[in-house]
Structure 1
Amino acid sequence: MNKYSYNQISLKQYIFILFETQVGIGVLSLPRDLAETAGTDGWISILLGWVLSMLLSLIIIQVMNKNPGYTLFELLSQYFGSWVGKSLSVLWILYAAFAASVVMFSTIYIIKLWIVPDIQDFILMILFIIPVYMITKHEIRVIGIFAEFVCLIFPWLALLIFFTFKNTQWMFLLPIGKEGIVPILSTVKSTILSFLGFELAFILYPFLKDKKSASKGIIISNSISMIIFLTVTVVSFVKFSPDEINDYAYPTLNLLKLVQLPFLERMEIIFLSVYLLTLFMTIIPYLYTAALGITQLFGKQEHRNVLRIIMCLWFLSSFFFFPSSSQVTQIGKSWGVAGIYFAYVFPIFLWIYGWIFHRYRKVQKQ
């Protein structure tokens, strides 16, 4: 019997958690990040990043298929022994906690920049950690239910994007490939960082009720993220000139700023206020991963005390850490560098090591 059977998530919840973790904060700045290097050919890099992310996602599923009853932290101890396994688990815990922290402080910066510039950081931190804690203190099943609720936001986003199609210049996209192949390939790094979140399949897999559909689910989640990234990027490229888009830190919000309805103004503020739920759904899975890792590392059952410690550290840090625009960009890049190793390099290493490990065990039994 699966020891996580009391806390399982459906395939739909599995898909929603993964793609909402991916989309999160990246969709707000991705068009500018791509335009800086590849110009309006940046949309091609999204497709290449999607293919690469899909391949690594399937490798993760292959690793977990051979060990369906284990979380990543349990698997590392099984593969590498107690000391090495726990050391690798600590690195994963630090990575997940850092990712959650980056998104939290970036969210506070964006909200201050666009909505309430005069408010103190610690006040926003209190307002944000309360709902984040209330969801994360429960098990993954509740997080999956919350992910289903948050998914209701995206049809509304698609409707708003539709209103921006007026006075677009599709000629900005032509000629395709004008920047050359080198800028397009070099920009793939920005896109693969936007797809970060699929590595949490390591954590979600043991809780998935229908494990045979894990590969299908992760393909769907990556594909939904790709469609959202591609749509927002292309619309931004045809709405703003190639030079203009580089002047906006968050082109998606500037895009929504152009939406004017007879009964509503400042649509970007309304959107961002609701989009907070999606930003929370980037924070929550990483935060849960860090808390789960610590509890399993110390053999505990309850992860709420760990969450309370992290919440207190976030709250205290909000009194002296006030990230500027450059600092937000820098910590985001640091997360991206760490993500390359944990989401793209580590699964390949673990897949090869796992193949050798199971092959050796099989030979020993003969």
Structure 2
Amino acid sequence: MRAKLPFFQTTILANFIQTGVVVFSLPRLLAENIGTNGWAALLICSVVASCNLCLISLVYRFGQGKSIFDITKSVLPNFIIIPFFCLLAALWAILGSLIAKEFILIITSLSFRSLPPIYLYLLLELLVFLLLSKGIFSISNSSVIAYFLLTCNFLLLFYARKDFDLSRMTPFWFKEVDHTLKGWFQIYSAFLGYELCLLLFPYVDEKSHLMRSFQIANLITTASYVLVSFISFGFFSLHQLQHMKFPMLNLLSYVELPFVKRVDDLVFNLSLLRVIVSNAMFAWASAETLRRLFPAAKFRSIPYVVLVIFAAATFFAIPTTLEETEPWIFRFGVAEAAVAVILPIVLLTILLINKRRGQNYA
């Protein structure tokens, strides 16, 4: 009998998938796109993500835990399934590589300006592939170890309480900016990643409480985002936030500890653990998809070859500056959000068709 992911590990893994390096620039994005008291917009986006997870939970319940590949193969022909899931595999592979690339571009701009980013990128991807080769359970175990190291970082924000002032937030809500759909989506994209739970159906059971895990992880992500943004809006003025590249790092630079000289550098470098796990999960999703499409023994190396190709293409085909990379992250984020909504709807439609046919998944 195949081992299953436990509830606690699934929750932490879900949190790692959803929370990314965007947290360092999130207060700026809120100030630019939402305006005064922009931190409250995170609660709205969290509710939307939670509703999307409820939609996915219907797929899990009505499909009785069957994998999305078994569900689609019950109705759709291969000439539709193969191209569709190949596109999904490509999307997840590129998203994982973009997470790594964004982190490397940030760290080189802050600490290693004379070092070509490609060297750090290759080292990071090597770590990702080593973790990926151990499978989903090793990725899950690694996330638990890293979680406790990273969670303590948010507690450092309370050192800024002396300079925190509620009057900087003003009594106005969502003012002084022009609201656009693109701006709201930039905020919502910080919550994406939860759609990978669709691929975890075969690796969980009733004791795993998969959908409850992802809902709890969504709440944890929301709490961490709100904490960072709320303190930032009370520490800096709206105008200051709009002109800071990474407000969280600026905030942490004010923290002084007797045993650490640069707290902001320490916290950002520790976030490497989160980047590795997140990248590995997206790479695992891509590899898992390709394995299910090409299960024959002679195709076992295909997922890893494809991941190497996309990792290289993401670095060399997309511009290698942070300002030019961010629009690409936005474009692929739009595609990811579309998958998170459309794929569960397609699966529910297939399950409805099977129900009318009298097909049972038990």
Q: Distance in 1 between matches of 2:41 and 2:313?
A: 39
1:119 aligns with 2:106: no
Could you tell me which residue of structure 2 aligns to residue 94 of structure 1?
90
- After superposing the two structures, state which structure 1 stretch, 153-162 or 128-137, moved more: 153-162
1:252 aligns with 2:248: yes
Q: Distance in 2 between matches of 1:261 and 1:363?
A: 63
1:150 aligns with 2:143: no
Percent of pairs with identical residues: 22
Whether contact under 8 Å (2:24, 2:248) holds in the other structure is yes
Aligned partner (choices 302, 320, 324) of residue 323 of structure 1? 320
Deviation at 1:333, TM superposition (A): 0.7
Deviation at 1:183, TM superposition (A): 3.5
Whether contact under 8 Å (1:121, 1:318) holds in the other structure is no
Letter in 2 for 1:362: G
Q: Which runs of 5+ in 1 are unaligned?
A: none
Letter in 2 for 1:33: L
Could you tell me which residue of structure 2 aligns to residue 287 of structure 1?
283
Could you tell me which residue of structure 1 aligns to residue 304 of structure 2?
307
Q: Distance in 1 between matches of 2:289 and 2:200?
A: 13
Q: Distance in 2 between matches of 1:317 and 1:194?
A: 20
1:74 aligns with 2:70: yes
Deviation at 1:89, TM superposition (A): 1.0
Deviation at 1:132, TM superposition (A): 0.8
Q: Distance in 1 between matches of 2:149 and 2:36?
A: 27
SS of 1:166 mapped into structure 2: helix
Q: Which runs of 5+ in 2 are unaligned?
A: none
Q: Can you list the C-alpha shifts for 1:291-322, whole angstroms capped at 9, x where unaligned?
A: 11111111146856522552365357656765
Deviation at 1:248, TM superposition (A): 1.6
1:59 aligns with 2:52: no
Aligned partner (choices 323, 332, 336) of residue 333 of structure 2? 336
Could you tell me which residue of structure 1 aligns to residue 199 of structure 2?
203
Could you tell me which residue of structure 1 aligns to residue 188 of structure 2?
192
SS of 2:36 mapped into structure 1: helix
Q: Number of residues paired by the alignment?
A: 359
Could you tell me which residue of structure 2 aligns to residue 297 of structure 1?
293
Q: Can you list the C-alpha shifts for 1:149-196, whole angstroms capped at 9, x where unaligned?
A: 111123321221111222112112221425299849875423321110
RMSD, aligned α-carbons:
2.6
Q: Distance in 2 between matches of 1:363 and 1:142?
A: 36
Whether contact under 8 Å (1:29, 1:249) holds in the other structure is yes
Q: Distance in 2 between matches of 1:338 and 1:93?
A: 12
Deviation at 1:77, TM superposition (A): 2.3
Q: Distance in 1 between matches of 2:353 and 2:270?
A: 47
SS of 1:243 mapped into structure 2: helix
1:47 aligns with 2:43: yes
Aligned partner (choices 131, 136, 141) of residue 135 of structure 1? 131
Could you tell me which residue of structure 1 aligns to residue 345 of structure 2?
348
Deviation at 1:135, TM superposition (A): 1.0
Whether contact under 8 Å (1:193, 1:336) holds in the other structure is yes
Deviation at 1:340, TM superposition (A): 2.0
Letter in 1 for 2:342: V
Whether contact under 8 Å (1:61, 1:201) holds in the other structure is no
Letter in 2 for 1:121: P
